[in-house]
Amino acid sequence: MDKLYEVSPDLKLVVRPESIGGTPANRMIHRESNQLFIGPYATDAEDKVRVLLYTEMLGRPTGNARHLTDPANKIYYASMEEGFYEAYVTTLEVTELYADNQAKRETQAGLPGYHGKGLYSCQGRLIYANNGQKDWAKINTIFQPSGALAEWDGKDWNVVLRNQFTEVTGSGGIYGSTNPDKDLI
C-alpha cells in the first residue's frame, strides 16, 4: 500500500508517522481552514497531519469538492466505489451520504459505471465522474456504454452522460469554485 510521504529540505523521502496507506487520488486545498486534503489526510500550514480513518469513511478516496451549503466548514469526499461523505474541516467528523459499494448497504447512490475518478461542485451541483463498468464480463463490444458523469443537487442523482471520464474540474481547480453560482465546470 502507498504511504503518506514528505520530502525533506535535503530531498530525502520520509514516510509520515500518521500514514495509514491506501490508494487515494483526491486532493483539495480548503482556503478557509488553510488545509490540504489529500487521501484520508488533512494537513495544515504547520505540517500537522490528521487522519480520517477508513473505518469512518470506507473506500478509496478519489475526489474532494466544496460543500454545496456550508463550504466554509465542510467538504465532500467521493470514493472510487461511489461512497459519498461530508466531513467537517475542523473536527474531521464524517457523515456518510451514500455507502461505498464495498459496504453492500441499501444507502448506495446506484449510479451506472464504476471506478470513480473526479468530484467537483459548482452551480448548486456536486459533479461525479467515473470511467468503468461493474459487469465487465457482460460487455462484448467496445461500443457498450461504460462510465458516467452524474450530478447531485443535495437530494437526487441525475446521470448527465454515459461515457468514460477521468476527471471533472472547473475554474477553481484544486481550490474549488470561488464563484459557485457562475463559474463553469
DSSP code at position 42: E
Structurally, at CATH architecture level, domain 5-175 sits in 6 Propeller (2.120)
Can you give the three-state secondary structure of 48-104, one letter per residue?
Answer: CEEECCCCCCCCCEEEEEECCCCCCCEEEEEECCCCEEEEECCCCCEEEEECCHHHC
In the chain, what percentage of residues exceed pLDDT 70? 95
Partners of 35 in the beta sheet?
Answer: 30, 44
| Residue 139 pLDDT greater than 80, yes or no | no
User: Which pLDDT does position 136 carry in this prediction?
Assistant: 61
Residue 153, SS3 per DSSP: coil
Between CA 20 and CA 98 the distance in angstroms is 23
Per-residue model confidence (pLDDT) at position 140:
62
Q: What is the pLDDT of residues 47-97, one digit of tens each?
A: 999 999 999 999 999 999 999 999 999 999 999 999 999 999 999 999 999
pLDDT category of residue 137 using cuts at 50, 70 and 90: low
Q: What is the mean pLDDT of the chain?
A: 92
Q: Give the CA dihedral 27, 33, 35, 38, nearest 10 degrees.
A: -30
Q: Residue 93 and residue 179: Cα distance in Å, rounded?
A: 26
Q: Give me the residue spans of the domains in the chain.
A: 5-175
Residue 86 C-alpha from the chain's centroid:
10
| Statement: residue 133 has pLDDT above 90 | no
At residue 95, the pLDDT reads 97
Closest CA to 80 of 37, 120, 24, 146: 24
Percent of the chain having pLDDT more than 90? 75
Report how far residue 133's alpha carbon sits from residue 177's, in angstroms, rounded to the nearest whole number: 29
Q: The C-alpha cell of 96 is what?
A: 456518510
